[in-house]
Structure 1
Amino acid sequence: MPNHITNKVKVIGTDEQIQEVFEFIKNDTLGIGTIDFNKITPMPKWVYGNSPGIVGISFDDEKLWGVENTVLGWSRKHWGTKWNAYGQPDDRNSKDTIFFETAWNGIPNLIQKLAWIFSMVKIEYSFADEDTGSSNCGFYCFEYDKINEQREYELCSKEAYELAFELVHNGEMPDWYIFNPETNTYEHVEGD
């Protein structure tokens, strides 16, 4: 079972530009407010496991076909995570922002590619691990071929906790955390 990563993509541009981006990336079954990684980097049909008749990839399959030629290996290499987006649509979505989940990792390289495709907008991308305070989190601002801002946070840093509170805990600090001004970060506290 993977750690779930909460992802947030905010598109900055005109209403028409934002709509164009969201129309392009939408999961065709779920509609606007979702993302399908195949829209940004399509998985080739020749990748083993990319058909409805195959359920699960074994080590033997990876030996036979090569790891990068199986669904899991290919998606890790080209998307940055082992599965397509899930946990969508999200109730927090707005006209310029969508939320979704990924397995184990954020996908900054895939979102940067989206900024290359839509050079007329800025894209703010942030992600945080469900393991609150983990260093598996960050914030990026992409504009065409530039990374205008990139922040990755250290394990148990104030910033890592606050990003997880925002994304994973819907902007709320859970009751089982307190801020310690002496260490300038948050600490897990045991319940009663």
Structure 2
Amino acid sequence: MQFVNACKAYEDKIIFKDLNLNFEKNKITTLLAPSGYGKTTLLNIIAGLEFLDSGSFIMEAQSISYMFQEDRLLPWLTVYENIAFVLKSSTFKCEIENIIDKYLDLVNLKEYKDYTLDKLSGGMKRRVALARAFAYKSEVLIMDEPFKGIDLTLKKEIILGFLKLWEKDKRTVIVVTHDINEARILAHNIYFLEEYNKL
């Protein structure tokens, strides 16, 4: 999966130009930069939500899961139902509960699976979104600030849990973050995005 001489602008604002990036299959890559440097735009292009103005994006993978910067949870559903919602079309019904329990246990929310979202804190909702993204079986997982709003102790625990899961079920992962420490712990490859995102 790669960008070749990629360019993107909004009206007269250049987001990136002449961008060349290569994402190794079944490796974890982080995109590191402050807000406003086009990291989310890159993820949206990978997910097919936006398109380049020029250059190429080449991808062979057929399935992608996307953990957005906003939780995008369904507030009228329980924690369990939010995760089950994304699994129903691709997972045998008899397997769904075990998968959900596995990933809720990873983020220390198994006992909250029957709670509605209004009973959860912002950090807990973020952990539900994280569990949902992990639970969906895909070739590529893209994550926009996945550990935002999670306290330091729990963040370390979740990162280590994620890395253990990745070792057992390797997939291509692209993580956007502004935190160098997260990037160092998570990634096989780190890209630093500079002004106009020339690397």
TM-score in terms of structure 2 length = 0.29
In our comparison, the structure showing a higher alpha carbon Rg is 1
Q: Which has the higher helix share?
A: 2
Q: Which has the higher contact order (CA 8 A, sep 6+)?
A: 2
TM-score in terms of structure 1 length = 0.30
